[in-house]
């Protein structure tokens, strides 16, 4: 999932079609304080912190989803 999507938004089919599952996910890069003005550094650092929070949330939700799925798989019902 894109970090820029809100929690309740699914990625578009176009986006999913462009994803290379064999490639590593892009890294969240820490801003380089020495190469930026204070204002740009502050803005990029705020974005970096938000991206880290979003990534942590997505990992927690994914882990929670997988653990619930596996723990109760014998009760799962397929609906088509």
How does pLDDT run across 14-49, given as a tens digit for each residue?
Answer: 878 888 889 887 788 999 999 999 999 999 999 999
Return the pLDDT at 68.
Answer: 59
What share of the chain has pLDDT > 90, as a percent?
A: 29
Place of tokens 């882990």: 63
How far apart CA 64 and CA 62 sit, in angstroms, is 5
Residue ranges per domain, the chain? 13-75
pTM higher than 0.75: no
How far apart CA 64 and CA 59 sit, in angstroms, is 8
């Amino acid at each position: 999932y894109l970090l820029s999507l809100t929690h309740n938004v699914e990625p578009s089919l176009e986006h999913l079609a462009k994803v290379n599952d064999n490639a590593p996910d892009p890294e969240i890069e820490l801003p380089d304080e020495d190469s930026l003005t204070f204002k740009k550094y502050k803005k990029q650092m705020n974005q970096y912190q938000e991206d880290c929070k979003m990534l942590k949330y997505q990992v927690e939700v994914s882990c929670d989803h997988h653990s619930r799925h596996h723990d109760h798989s014998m009760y799962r019902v397929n609906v088509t």
